[in-house]
């Protein structure tokens, strides 16, 4: 049974974090809470956490600041939800989470909170950051260069992070040309794949080299692919719109017709 004295806090729109924490605790109350919230655990909530992070990024990409405010709230709620589950299990609570990240940020910024100078280049600060993180991993007995790269990251992003870690210990190509040569080699191996399983393996190798090429060219592969996805969506919408003017749809049009409209969309973009 919940404490009635907290009802005023629940209704207080200026109640801040205490209000949100109380709402979460009430949602998970075994007797009076929401059945769906009570049933959840870390693994069932994790996909929603990832989804909310992407929705934050989408709001930023669209420069929709009102939506960003909402999505940041949704993402914050995910942290609160996980912390409440942990509290219910006797593992830790939200204040432990806040303490952990606060301590981490202070220790990782000695040039701001310590005695080190902050008169450093951005590259030097990144290098220092990685050194501090390496020391933290050592403290967690993560001795391998690749230890601690999260398994749950999107595969393309994880590939880049794995490659960055390996490069720090000297396992890397010297030039972009060498990566391009490897790309050609992997493409040929994909062409020669014996069966579906082998093709999947070789396709993965090809994507891994593409991620490495992006790293060497200082390109964010996720961002580059999202940009291409947006471009494809925009041009295909042009195809559908032009076909609609003719009383047609993509499914009852020929590839040649759609290719011509695709080229038209490209030309219009260049003119714009």
Q: What does the alpha-carbon distance between residue 272 and residue 269 come to, in Å, rounded to a whole number? A: 5
pLDDT of residue 114: 79
Average pLDDT over residues 73-100: 97
**CB neighbour list of residue 6: distance below 8 Å, 6 or more residues apart:** 22, 26
> Cα–Cα–Cα angle for 32, 9, 36, nearest 5°?
30
Query: How would you class 256 by CB atoms within 10 Å of its CB: exposed for 0-12, middle for 13-18, buried for 19 or more?
Result: exposed
SS3 120: coil
Instruction: Decide which of 5 and 85 is more confident.
Output: 85
pLDDT of residue 108: 83
pLDDT of 141 strictly over 70: no
Q: What does the alpha-carbon distance between residue 159 and residue 196 come to, in Å, rounded to a whole number? A: 22
pLDDT of residue 152: 79
pLDDT of 40 strictly over 60: yes
pLDDT of 29 strictly over 80: yes
- Taking the model in full, what pTM does it have? 0.62
Average pLDDT of the chain to the nearest whole number: 90
């Amino acid at each position: 049974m919940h404490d009635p004295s907290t009802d005023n806090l629940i209704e207080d729109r200026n109640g801040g974090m205490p209000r949100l924490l109380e709402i979460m605790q009430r949602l998970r109350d075994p007797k009076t809470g929401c059945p769906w919230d009570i049933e959840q655990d870390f693994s069932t909530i994790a996909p929603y956490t990832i989804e909310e992070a992407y929705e934050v990024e989408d709001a930023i990409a669209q420069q929709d600041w009102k939506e960003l405010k909402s999505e940041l709230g949704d993402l914050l709620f995910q942290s609160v939800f996980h912390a409440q589950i942990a509290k219910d299990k006797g593992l830790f609570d939200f204040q432990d989470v806040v303490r952990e990240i606060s301590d981490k940020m202070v220790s990782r910024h000695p040039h701001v909170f310590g005695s080190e100078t902050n008169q450093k280049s951005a590259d030097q600060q990144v290098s220092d950051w990685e050194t501090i993180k390496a020391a933290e991993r050592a403290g967690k007995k993560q001795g391998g260069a690749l230890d601690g790269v999260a398994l749950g990251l999107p595969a393309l992003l994880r590939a880049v992070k794995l490659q960055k870690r390996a490069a720090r210990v000297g396992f890397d190509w010297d030039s972009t040309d060498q990566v391009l040569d490897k790309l050609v080699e992997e493409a040929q191996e994909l062409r020669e794949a014996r069966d579906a399983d082998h093709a999947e393996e070789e396709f993965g190798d090809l994507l891994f080299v593409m991620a490495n090429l992006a790293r060497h060219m200082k390109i964010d592969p996720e961002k580059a692919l999202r940009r291409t996805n947006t471009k494809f969506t925009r041009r295909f919408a042009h195809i559908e719109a032009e076909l609609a003017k003719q009383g047609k749809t993509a499914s009852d049009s020929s590839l040649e017709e759609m290719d011509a409209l695709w080229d038209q969309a490209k030309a219009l973009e260049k003119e714009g």
